[in-house]
Structure 1
């Protein structure tokens, strides 16, 4: 079973490259005021022409200040996203790329030297590369060899102070933007030899250079296995692990991102990272003041947890669980998502499951099931699935209301639905023996909330063999019924109790359809359709609403005790040839007689209630069952109360049972219509509901023995 964050790698971030520039450079663009009114296109054209004019001059005589200002002018224009396209169309790429290698290495000796020009060139190209459509154009002009050459020039990076820090940082940032989500350029950086100097620059004395190098490596490692392997082969891991412990949040954030991308989909590198001692520093970052580092370290721990079975336990033993649980309560959705992801992975280890619950992880994970973020919800569901694997956790999950939470939460994606169903199934499989006894102990306590949670959970998850023990002997049914009718409980409690009773009724087979088949053996004599209201051999006539109906005593005698008493007893009808029927409509009487003659009849909705009354009057049980079934099929929230009264008035127990079950199944809708009337109806139903459910539970227990 996968989690919502299984495929997460760290893309890295495009470098915005908007550091403050020197006042002199920022205020002048090739000798013109910064607020000049010329159009962007004309500015680009003039700056490009300046660069091209100056770069054809001998290196030793070129006006380097003017060249730097021209390059910087293009960078200033490129800071505005709307200008980037115009800068590229104006030929800036072809003009700027040669500046990366225009001056000989020996010339880099002062702030106005070629190094400053290179820095502005790197800055401009990095800004232009933010738009992915320009990345290949820049690389195809030969930018990568120039950028890599700048990196190599500063390896080993000198200690402070260093005038080259800004230049090498710009070069690394430019590579980051060129390679961002660009598979081919990532590989080209490697083939140009860019990875070894970037790894070496991780050890720079300058924190900004460290961050820039790590950011570039992070991007290069994203979904590129060859780059990952070379980064590791170049010895990056020890330095990256040291960076995890840096005071600078930017450094440890980038470092944990690089490591995360290196280990993703590579079990070999994952083991190597752990062997180098990364586990404890990563756990330490869970308590960092940097939210991004916390998030990345949680994700990384989730990835570590899949390495070997032993590492799941080690991560917990070294103190990862408490800060991860704390992170579940963060206001940062992504932080919560990664914490739930890590806990979900850790919870797949039997040694960790009870510890996570003991440390207080259960309540926040259950709370996250109400999230409207699909990944967050799924990660929480996956963690709960793991926790439910340990018998020691089951009673705690029930007491915490976990069963109700899992059943009632609105799940956003299908994998979450599948995960929750598997969790409920896992809980159901474990609720027996000592686990059941633990839950029953909670159900019999004086805490009303605990009684509610345990009784409703057991109604849904207890095994059939335990139903009698739980709900008859240990009074679980009484608890549910009391919750259902207690005016002090809120609507949610009533709804959950109703749902639990309905589930219990289904388990007890109390929701079976009304059986309309005659009970064998039957003395019924069916003369057949052809004898309905037929004079042939007729020996009695009924007068109904002024119309005659011809019948046969033999069929009527066999149909019910009422007719038998009428024709065999001392009533006047015994000898009468015509018998008036004063209280039944003709169409109802005809349907009743058709059932007597054929054993069945289509019960039309408009006569069903009258036909039930007639069937009760004449003690026609098969017809009564047909009427009950027809009326039950037409139950609604509007007619429930009337139908239940009908079942009581005309001795229709199966119809009454269906009314009770309908009330439980549609509790929320009925309760919202008229709470007072429905509450009164419910209280009226409860004694019979208890009697019938108890009867069914006992019958179920007997049948299973």
Structure 2
């Protein structure tokens, strides 16, 4: 049995993908606004923001001018000025230790204004209590309550609004478009200031604090990343910002250089933020956040990636990832506990808000760093550098830290998960609990992911790129403990995270038995089956692709997958709207069909796989039809399935695939037809569909396909030789109930495959030859005409009539003849006066001859010429030709050459009954038949009654039919064939 390519196709690696959205970090969005939107909007935070908006912050700032402002004071719980982000919340970085901020207070303001400010603060407090009162939940209630306050304090409220407007007027104006002109290349990564106008640290801090209080629409416009030039200079600036952040503090560096080994170890631990005893954290400033964001946006261009690698940025990026994700930091950063371990409820809220703000910046940096590493790892040249510098371990550490967090459900109000609440809200809006359609599902996915899911997704995508066809990376992922984390991510709440994890598992499982076994041991099969059962078709492909990598060349994993209940979900995927899922499902089913104990071939068909597979054969996508043919070829090894596939209409699309220009599709179709031909009930269907002609005429590239076709034809020939099969075919050929097309296809098939002993009965007695000549002469379909001519030629080759023509191949020298016996006068007496008794007058020229020579050659010649007279006039022949005739009569031999007029010589030989000369002319004319002379030669053979020349002209017309049509035209050739049909029929002789 020929081996199919389908098993090797399972080993084909899929194209590498990057599983992140390029639109997530749009340069037009303000990063500060994005951070604040992600925080929990607690009641205390809302109250504090309202106080800021109404001017209470300014009043408090003037009262406490020159004093330290605590971030935990009334109305500012957990919301101090924006400090460098401290991932590890340590005592040394508490809000009380923040630098002193001085209020901006005009010196010309009178002291009486201070008292009015206190009154304004009280009024603002009252407004806040009215607006945030829990009992007033609707907008109408809040408006009515607010109108009461306005009516009771109209002047005070007007004064308050006026002061608030004046306070905002003096703040930093938005930058105009003209400010960036000519200076965009000098924009710094941190704040958008130009190179020659670097503000001091105090001024930058004051500006950042003022911008924090403004709504996002009123904040100053900063330089967009799209405005920055994509060159080595810009990339070097951004990388230098990150390298500066990664340097340890000066004190730690001096201590490390001066101290011993223990001091250096403590300094390294403190600088990396991993000190277990001190709890000392590490800092990420706002400037580094913007630098990472700029690199992530510019890394979409190959030029930027090249600059990053050339400037040593890979090592910097890996260091950033390592610093961001250690186990202790992640456990602290993602601690969603609204209550503090000690203290009041408000203090717990303040602590939670502080942690949320601190660690959100770290997550922002981490997700963008993973994005840049993903772009770098897409390039095969840079991939090796990432691996050598430890990028695999850093990314695996990210997955280990964030995998469990992606699986946990976030709680909303009342302890119910936010996902369930959102789904319930959408269903209530729709009016019923109907499943989401494709459009609604796509809109839902367009919402930005949480930072946790984004980090996991991007890290998994970068690992998938690194593991692409790299054995070392695949082993490193397993050795670093990445397989359990990836398997756990298959249960993530976010669709994109599941897809990214599945893609990475597929990459590391490809041709790596150790990884395959560990993936299975970690329980990935159950999660993959659940993904297959998902109602979302977009998640199916990656799940089934992972299964394909696991199952390939692993018989024990095949059984484990089937035992997990994957068979029916895979069959259901054959009807999926996603073509790639259908292709992978067909490939898997074809591999499962080889499982022998128990036999899954019949199970797969019984569960409904046959119909979708047959419909996939007609798909325009080559890979889909290719895998469908592969699966059907495996299912066709079962006798019951063989008949079922043909009855379900699978034969014709398989025949169409034989004409495919794709080698794999062609071979899989040939292999499937080989299996179907093993059933007696399928043989009539093979012949009625014209399969024999297609198999004989198809062009195959590889030897395996040629072997399949040869074996299929041999098997069909064996089946036709059986009595009950041949009787059915004869009935179809002779029955009036059968249509002419069916008779035609049966006749063309039997011409090549019928037993030799049955040819006369099939084509003479049952009129099979009449059907073939009818299509050859009258069909307007060129293909049908050619197939019928080929079938007639096949009959001619199997007949003895055309196999023994006097040709050079059969040992006959064309145009030569020499008598084996008899006595001749010799050439010396030719045209000699010696003993001459008769004279021939040819074209006015006299030729001497002897009656005894003519009488010895042919009695018929003496009668025709009438040599009793002394002078005989010969007409209708040239002098040279008559000389050739006399030479044969005098010598008994002749040689017909190009100089001879063979046709005229043949006519004279037939007239005088000179058989030797006739044979020489006949063999010469047979050897010189071509498209221009075949018609005249056939007519000459009819006049001269030359059997061999007759047959030769008929055989040349049939065997060279295509060339004759091009030279003479179809009409002329058809007229010639119509004249030759009786000769062909009379010439056929079939041995029994």
What TM-score, normalized by structure 2, do the two folds share?
0.65
Inter-partner Cα distance in structure 2 for 1:541 and 1:272: 106
Cα shift readout 1:317-376 (whole Å, capped 9, x = no counterpart): 222111100111223221111111111222233332111001110111112223232322
Work out whether residues 658 and 670 of structure 2, in 8 Å CA contact, stay in contact via their aligned partners in 1. Answer: yes
Name which of 191, 201, 209 aligns with 1:31. Answer: 191
Inter-partner Cα distance in structure 1 for 2:866 and 2:655: 74
Counterpart residue number, 1:172: 460
Counterpart residue number, 2:393: 145
Name which of 32, 36, 41 aligns with 2:232. Answer: 41
Flag the 1:391–1:540 CA change in 2: closer, same or farther, 3 A. farther
Structure 2 SS opposite 1:509: coil
Inter-partner Cα distance in structure 2 for 1:115 and 1:442: 77
Flag the 1:606–1:575 CA change in 2: closer, same or farther, 3 A. closer
Verify: 1:503 aligned to 2:794, yes or no: yes
Inter-partner Cα distance in structure 2 for 1:345 and 1:529: 78
Work out whether residues 428 and 461 of structure 1, in 8 Å CA contact, stay in contact via their aligned partners in 2. Answer: yes
Give 1:147-166 correspondences, 5 Å limit.
147-157=395-405, 158-161=407-410, 164-166=452-454
Work out whether residues 285 and 297 of structure 1, in 8 Å CA contact, stay in contact via their aligned partners in 2. Answer: yes
Verify: 1:96 aligned to 2:387, yes or no: no
Flag the 1:199–1:563 CA change in 2: closer, same or farther, 3 A. same
Inter-partner Cα distance in structure 1 for 2:703 and 2:855: 61
Give 1:586-605 correspondences, 5 Å limit.
586-592=879-885, 595=888, 597-599=891-893, 601-604=895-898
Give the deviation of 1:501 after TM superposition: 1.1
Flag the 1:88–1:461 CA change in 2: closer, same or farther, 3 A. same
Structure 2 SS opposite 1:181: coil
Counterpart residue number, 1:260: 548
Inter-partner Cα distance in structure 2 for 1:529 and 1:133: 92
Counterpart residue number, 2:767: 475
Give 1:77-476 correspondences, 5 Å limit.
77-103=298-324, 104-108=326-330, 109=333, 110=356, 111-157=359-405, 158-161=407-410, 164-308=452-596, 310-432=599-721, 433-446=723-736, 447-476=739-768
Range that drifts further, 601-610 or 246-255: 601-610
Flag the 1:387–1:208 CA change in 2: closer, same or farther, 3 A. same
| Unaligned ranges ≥5, structure 1 | none
Counterpart residue number, 1:16: 18
Verify: 1:663 aligned to 2:957, yes or no: yes
Work out whether residues 838 and 851 of structure 2, in 8 Å CA contact, stay in contact via their aligned partners in 1. Answer: no
Give the deviation of 1:595 after TM superposition: 5.0
Counterpart residue number, 1:7: 8
Range that drifts further, 678-687 or 647-656: 678-687
Give the deviation of 1:142 after TM superposition: 0.9
Verify: 1:686 aligned to 2:981, yes or no: yes
Counterpart residue number, 1:485: 777
Counterpart residue number, 1:514: 805
Give the deviation of 1:55 after TM superposition: 1.2
Structure 2 SS opposite 1:153: helix
Inter-partner Cα distance in structure 1 for 2:862 and 2:749: 52
Counterpart residue number, 1:562: 860
Give the deviation of 1:289 after TM superposition: 1.9
Cα shift readout 1:91-110 (whole Å, capped 9, x = no counterpart): 22011011121034333313
Name which of 565, 584, 592 aligns with 2:877. Answer: 584
RMSD: 3.0
Counterpart residue number, 1:525: 822
Inter-partner Cα distance in structure 2 for 1:532 and 1:304: 91
Inter-partner Cα distance in structure 2 for 1:646 and 1:639: 10
Flag the 1:530–1:24 CA change in 2: closer, same or farther, 3 A. closer
Cα shift readout 1:205-257 (whole Å, capped 9, x = no counterpart): 33322211111010111222332233223332232222221223233211110
Work out whether residues 12 and 215 of structure 1, in 8 Å CA contact, stay in contact via their aligned partners in 2. Answer: no
Work out whether residues 19 and 496 of structure 2, in 8 Å CA contact, stay in contact via their aligned partners in 1. Answer: no
Of structures 1 and 2, the larger Rg is shown by 2
Give the deviation of 1:27 after TM superposition: 6.4
Give the deviation of 1:525 after TM superposition: 1.9
Work out whether residues 941 and 950 of structure 2, in 8 Å CA contact, stay in contact via their aligned partners in 1. Answer: yes
Range that drifts further, 223-232 or 26-35: 26-35
Give the deviation of 1:159 after TM superposition: 1.6
Flag the 1:682–1:458 CA change in 2: closer, same or farther, 3 A. same
Name which of 854, 867, 884 aligns with 1:573. Answer: 867
Range that drifts further, 440-449 or 49-58: 440-449
Cα shift readout 1:97-139 (whole Å, capped 9, x = no counterpart): 1112103433331352433322222111111111111111001
Q: Count the aligned residue pairs.
A: 689
Inter-partner Cα distance in structure 2 for 1:207 and 1:405: 47
Counterpart residue number, 2:972: 677
Cα shift readout 1:383-438 (whole Å, capped 9, x = no counterpart): 11221221211101111122223233444555434433332232222212221222
Inter-partner Cα distance in structure 2 for 1:528 and 1:244: 100
Flag the 1:608–1:239 CA change in 2: closer, same or farther, 3 A. same
| Unaligned ranges ≥5, structure 2 | 32-188, 193-222, 249-270, 274-280, 334-355, 411-449, 814-818
Flag the 1:531–1:190 CA change in 2: closer, same or farther, 3 A. farther
Work out whether residues 485 and 682 of structure 1, in 8 Å CA contact, stay in contact via their aligned partners in 2. Answer: yes
Work out whether residues 230 and 298 of structure 2, in 8 Å CA contact, stay in contact via their aligned partners in 1. Answer: no
Inter-partner Cα distance in structure 2 for 1:546 and 1:413: 69
Inter-partner Cα distance in structure 2 for 1:82 and 1:664: 66
Inter-partner Cα distance in structure 2 for 1:341 and 1:542: 84
Inter-partner Cα distance in structure 1 for 2:454 and 2:825: 104
Flag the 1:226–1:105 CA change in 2: closer, same or farther, 3 A. closer
Flag the 1:538–1:90 CA change in 2: closer, same or farther, 3 A. farther
Inter-partner Cα distance in structure 1 for 2:825 and 2:674: 61
Inter-partner Cα distance in structure 2 for 1:542 and 1:306: 92
Work out whether residues 531 and 540 of structure 2, in 8 Å CA contact, stay in contact via their aligned partners in 1. Answer: yes
Inter-partner Cα distance in structure 1 for 2:494 and 2:645: 41
Work out whether residues 100 and 121 of structure 1, in 8 Å CA contact, stay in contact via their aligned partners in 2. Answer: yes
Inter-partner Cα distance in structure 1 for 2:823 and 2:554: 79
Structure 1 SS opposite 2:7: coil
Cα shift readout 1:523-547 (whole Å, capped 9, x = no counterpart): 8426598768497998777656677
